[in-house]
Amino acid sequence: MTQTLEPKSDEDVAEMVRSTGDQAIATVGSATNLGFGNPAEREDIVLSTRGLNRIVDYVPEDQVVVVEAGITLGELQVELGKHGQRLAIESLGGDGVTIGGMLATNAYGPSALRYGTLKDLIVGVELVRADGVVARAGGKVVKNVAGFDVSKLIVGSLGTLAIITKATFRVHPLPESTRRLTFNAKIANVFPFVLALREAQLEPSSIAVRINGEDATIEVVFEGFGPGVDAQIAACEGVAKRVTLSVVSAANVACAHTVGIEGQKKYRLKATYPPTEFARIAREIKGEALAYPSLGVVHFGDNATAVASLRATFESLGGTLVVQNMPDEWRGKIDAWGTPPPAFKIMRALKDRFDPRRRLNPGRFVGGL
């Protein structure tokens, strides 16, 4: 019988970890996606971070915010929005996901094109280690090279190295203007269009593509001050004409994307590839998909056969195919991650150093980490 613990502070977390011996701990936030990765080898305790949902420190002038891990992205954005700021990241699972969950899974949306991922936005972290010790890395200033960058190392580690209790982020001003253009295209035209935008020195904050067979719908979003955004929209329409795309719609929008962030509920798989291979992979997927063509990312698939048939293709291109939302019936049959990378021995050594008794999400991550 799994026991659920609900700490209210980082000291609570440390005490709970210390007082539960060798029991295995699964840390969960809003529990919006418990199917991320492989099933754990064992799971004795569920530790919910939802009681850790405070903004610890926020000075808008410094554009830095310190939060507890259990705050949701939506809750955080509301507070930042009051001061004309935001954490420049989108969640494919909606605004109800926790910051801790996003950090654990390295979640990001299409605007990573301009703002990077949480690895680029995080500047400090507080952790509870598997031995119940509280440790910090980084700090509260954006520019800081004191000590090893444990903050970035912990992003995407799926709770297997330590429990994240607090994180500090750089935040950005909300743009004065956000405008979106939508185009219909054939998949063969998508990457040439991306290159043409780049050649024209335009700076979209995101490009997202919905793929359906040979057809594609491209959304391009520009953010910034009014005059710059207006000029970019006009220039982007010109570029689109040159590569023979037709404009479907233009809109001033509060939320940058419609198709760009619907991924997690619809698609179970995420793959990466060199951006120049876009047309090839779009054809091989043979169905609906959501891609960020400049980033070399595609979300697609809801059936297990796609994993088997396409993983080798992505891996041969130097990319990956990962199951981001595994249904119960796949468990034990399909590996979520694929071939462990060449540096796996270092990863195993890290796991051994941070969690020698294998208490934290044992077995869920790459290669059984």
Which one of the spans 34-42, 92-100, 116-124, 257-265 is the region binding another protein (CB under 8 A)? 116-124
Kindly identify the residues of this chain, within the stretch 159-218, that bind another protein according to CB under 8 A: 161, 172-176, 195, 198-199, 201-203
Which CB, 133 or 251, lies closer to another protein?
Answer: 133
- Which residue of 19, 148, 214, 265 would you call a contact of another protein, by CB under 8 A? 148
Kindly provide the residue ranges of all beta strands, DSSP E only, lying in the chain, ordered along the sequence. 3-5, 25-28, 45-48, 55-59, 64-68, 85-86, 122-128, 134-138, 163-170, 172-173, 177-186, 206-212, 215-224, 246-252, 269-272, 288-292, 297-300, 320-323
Which one of the spans 57-65, 209-217, 249-257, 280-288 is the region binding another protein (CB under 8 A)? 57-65
Which CB, 96 or 132, lies closer to another protein?
Answer: 132
d(CA 135, CA 157): 16
Regarding beta strands 55-59 and 45-48, do their DSSP bridges make them parallel or antiparallel, or are they unpaired? unpaired
Shortest Cβ 3–another protein spacing (Å): 27
Which one of the spans 21-29, 41-49, 149-157, 239-247 is the region binding another protein (CB under 8 A)? 149-157
Over its C-alpha atoms, the chain yields an Rg (Å, rounded) of: 21
- Which residue of 8, 119, 266, 280 would you call a contact of another protein, by CB under 8 A? 119
Which one of the spans 213-221, 239-247, 251-259, 318-326 is the region binding another protein (CB under 8 A)? 318-326
Regarding beta strands 45-48 and 25-28, do their DSSP bridges make them parallel or antiparallel, or are they unpaired? parallel
Kindly identify the residues of this chain, within the stretch 89-108, that bind another protein according to CB under 8 A: 106
Shortest Cβ 210–another protein spacing (Å): 19
- Which residue of 35, 51, 94, 116 would you call a contact of another protein, by CB under 8 A? 116
d(CA 366, CA 369): 6
- Tokens (6 digits) for 175: 């743009």
Q: If you write DSSP's letter for every residue of 265-276 in order, what string do you get?
A: HH--EEEE--GG
